[in-house]
Amino acid sequence: MEMTPDYLVKQCKSLNARLIEWRRLLHRIPEVGLELPETEAAVRSVLEELDVPLQESYRGVGLVAVLEGGKPSGRTVAVRADMDALAVEEEPGREYGSTHPGLMHACGHDAHVAIALGAACFFSQHRQRLPGRVKFIFQPAEESMGGAQRMLEAGALEDPRADYLLGLHIGDIWPEVGLGQVGVSFKPMMAAADAFEFTMEAVGGHGAAPHRSPDPVLAACSAVVQIHTLTGRDIDPLEPAVVTVGQVEGGSACNIIPAEVHARGTVRTFNETTRKLIESRLAEVVAHTAGSFRCRHRFAYHRGTHPVRSDPSVAGLVRQAATDLLGPEGVRLIERPALTGEDVSIFLKEVPGCFFALGASNPEKDRVSLHHSPVFDIDESVLWKGAAVFCLSALRLLGDSASGRAG
């Protein structure tokens, strides 16, 4: 049987019930950070059932599995799926809701894993027709922006070396990508995401005697106001950039001037020149504000992810594969980037690949993909489409002429 687009559609549709089962299993057991023992155990169990070998010698974070095809080829395609959840309390009422209080899959990573497992399931059933090999990378700590770098340093792209990498994000981050549609971009589609923090310090004192100690609360508040003017006055208005201070901590009582106040924020950019300018201006604003209020200060800037940018040739191949599977109406070109970040960019800096979108928001079914929200949910009927795009794109990247278009 040739693995044509029509055949892939039929086979992947038939797998959708299993994808829903896997997604709901993972949705019930959300975990955050680098250590995801229950999630990894669930993924490991499915891979063992599918007879897709894990790289047991891999001593990094997350899980890596490699499926060897039955047809000789020197190429390897990696499929990456992030596994971690968020510290969000889920809205009650779903029969597949979180069983871990205060934690929730509020960004769709449970669906990403299920879709990757769907691709693993298809290829396990057709391994004799698979040219080359497919490497499955299940990554923790995407939300905390540390997982991809840790996996890269541990060798996740090696042994065998990945020639290409595919990934996706589900939901409605890009408004032009509707329910069940695939979105592809030939421009940066997500931003570089950095973090910064600063502390204002003084000796502290009585609230009734403000002249006896500099006020770090006032200094921090003034710095926050100044920081939020940077993008409006220091950055080219045509250059996208967002600076947000999302956390300010300090003080223990209403009548005490505290000894220190700590603040944290994020920076989102697409341009390296803009990124460097904001980093330097943040340091200047904090230093000058501290000096004007007679406070000491500490400042740190933490570089996170790169902008998410697909390789143009791989993006073109994925766009054509999605069109062959879903028809022209099922594919959208993403022109307007999102200022959210994604550390898949760490992998895409190392190997050519494509990160695409899959629309899954359906308010008519009360499946609203409002990311990082307690009400986040997806229309699970579209999961098979992500798996089908992974499969056909991987086949073409591996050079399988039977898939309808050679890689």
Q: What are the backbone dihedrals phi and psi of residue 203, each rounded to the nearest 5 degrees, phi first?
A: -85, -20
296 and 216, same structural domain?
yes
Q: pLDDT-based confidence at 400, cuts 50/70/90?
A: low
Over the chain, what is the mean pLDDT? 95
Please say which residue of 261, 278, 302 terminates a domain. 302
CA distance 198 to 297: 7
Please say which residue of 302, 320, 335 terminates a domain. 302
Q: What is the pLDDT of residue 379?
A: 98
Q: What is the pLDDT of residue 231?
A: 93
255 and 323, same structural domain?
no
By the 8 A CB rule, do 113 and 81 touch? yes
Q: What are the backbone dihedrals phi and psi of residue 116, each rounded to the nearest 5 degrees, phi first?
A: -65, -40
CA angle 190, 192, 197 (to 5 degrees): 135
Helix residue ranges per DSSP H, 257-407: 272-292, 312-326, 344-348, 383-398
318 and 293, same structural domain?
no
By three-state DSSP, how is residue 337 classified? Answer: coil
Over 60: is that where the pLDDT of 402 sits? Answer: no
Q: What is the pLDDT of residue 71?
A: 84
Over 70: is that where the pLDDT of 251 sits? Answer: yes
For residue 310, the 8-state DSSP code is -
The 10s digit of each residue's pLDDT in 198-213 is: 999 999 999 999 999 9
Structure tokens at 182: 């695939």
Q: Which residues pair with 362 in a beta bridge?
A: 367
Instruction: State mean pLDDT over 99-116.
Output: 98
Q: What is the pLDDT of residue 404?
A: 57
196 and 288, same structural domain?
yes
Q: What is the pLDDT of residue 101?
A: 98
CB-based contacts of 227: which residues, under 8 Å, 6+ apart?
Answer: 243, 245, 265, 282, 285, 286
Domain that holds residue 145: 5-190+308-403
pLDDT > 70 fraction of the chain, expressed in percent and rounded? 97
Instruction: State mean pLDDT over 158-167.
Output: 96
Q: pLDDT-based confidence at 407, cuts 50/70/90?
A: very low
327 and 201, same structural domain?
no
Over 90: is that where the pLDDT of 1 sits? Answer: no
Structure tokens at 370: 């409002």
Please say which residue of 302, 322, 342 terminates a domain. 302
The 10s digit of each residue's pLDDT in 26-36 is: 999 999 999 99
Amino acid at 180: G
- Quick count: other Cβ atoms within 10 Å of Cβ 359? 26
Over 80: is that where the pLDDT of 219 sits? Answer: yes
175 and 96, same structural domain?
yes
User: How many domains in the chain?
Assistant: 2
CA distance 330 to 359: 10
Q: pLDDT-based confidence at 146, cuts 50/70/90?
A: confident
**Per-residue burial over 303-333, b = 16 or more CB atoms within 10 Å of its CB, e = otherwise:** ebbbbbbbbeebbebbbbbbbbbbeeebbbe
Amino acid at 5: P
Instruction: State mean pLDDT over 267-293.
Output: 97
208 and 121, same structural domain?
no
**DSSP string across 194-230:** EEEEEEEE---EETT-GGGS--HHHHHHHHHHHHTTH
319 and 208, same structural domain?
no
352 and 297, same structural domain?
no
- Composition of the chain by helix, strand, coil, percent to 5: 35, 25, 40
Instruction: State mean pLDDT over 351-358.
Output: 98
The 10s digit of each residue's pLDDT in 222-242 is: 999 999 999 999 999 999 999
Cα atoms in the 13 Å half-sphere on the side-chain side of 374: 8
Instruction: State mean pLDDT over 149-153.
Output: 94
